[in-house]
Amino acid sequence: MALHRLLDMEIGVPEPAALDDFLREIGLSGENGRWGGEEQPDQIRVVEAPFRQLVSMCVACESEEDLAIAAKALDELGAKADIGNGKLRLTDPINRWEMVVEPAEVRDIETRPERTRNRPGQRPRTDVRAEAITEAKPRPPRRLGHVVVGTPDPINTANLYKALGYRVSDVIGGGLATFMRCSPDHHNLLVAPGRVPYLNHYALEHDDFDSVARAATNYLRNHEDDRQIAGPGRHQIGGNEFWYMLDASGNFFEFFSDMDRIDDDAAWEIGTDWAPADSWSLWGEEHQPEVFFNPVDMDEIVAGWEKQHG
């Protein structure tokens, strides 16, 4: 496995301080535009931009040899990458955000003690209350897990990221949307349709669904405006439990847990016959809300993107 981990992303917004306050509120560690879980404190960077947008993503590979392999594959697609200071940099020729690949240690975040759960025929928690109830404070998000982008050219965008080293996990609608991974997670990137390139949402992993539900309900209770987008539910594609909301800058964000893991690429069967109308959630809302395909500020994003990129 050459690519093995999503390292970080950079989000541009008109009011960075508001997004900083939000990321602090939901329990991430950091300050002044640099945020993440306790073990990965710089996974989300916040910068000022004229409209909300994805500025860059960075993924880890195993060695500098992987950079040359990716550069050659990109060159065959007509995409020119630069290698310097031990990193590969590519301005995505379709979507205009920056992609960075750099060698880094292969590792996962540490396991926290699992909450003891009682099940039929297996009752290990006796004579004490459930940990989810007695914990002094909510468990914070652990890490940035994946990013979902919209693009006017999803098929060629997916091909570009395959050349970069991403592997395909599942495909919807013959390439209408492609779930891709740079780690054993089912997906670290989802490429979906969009009028212009834009950040659809970013996703933060929690220890379990108790943490997802507690964090989501606390956040929604703390805001009188409507920041609920979708959830709770469990995706058929990826298997993860989810809850989607709006952050302070109008970006969608997702709290998730329990995603499918792919350790053996050869053993995983890529699904290519998922029906877009019937692959959203095993329970909860039956269909994906329309706002995912057309966010309320989409006209602003289109105007901003066209002004910035002509």
The domains of the chain are located at: 3-106+138-309
Predicted local distance difference test score (pLDDT) of residue 88:
98
Candidates 3.10.180.10, 3.20.20.80, 3.30.1360.10, 3.40.50.720; correct CATH number of 3-106+138-309? 3.10.180.10
Predicted local distance difference test score (pLDDT) of residue 273:
84
How are the residues of the chain apportioned to helix, strand and coil, as percentages rounded to the nearest 5? 25, 35, 40
* Cα–Cα distance for residue pair 71/88, rounded to 1 Å: 8
Predicted local distance difference test score (pLDDT) of residue 275:
80
Predicted local distance difference test score (pLDDT) of residue 214:
97
Predicted local distance difference test score (pLDDT) of residue 1:
58
pLDDT 10s digits, 201-244: 999 999 999 999 999 999 999 998 899 999 999 999 999 999 99
Alpha helices (runs of H) in the chain, residue ranges in sequence order: 16-25, 64-76, 131-134, 154-164, 209-221, 298-309
| Prediction pTM value | 0.96
Q: Which of 181, 176, 203 is nearest to 192 (CA)?
A: 176
Predicted local distance difference test score (pLDDT) of residue 242:
98
Strand partners, 246: 252
Predicted local distance difference test score (pLDDT) of residue 68:
96
Cβ neighbors of 132 (< 8 A, separation 6 or more) are: 115, 210, 214
State which residues of the chain have pLDDT below 50. Answer: none
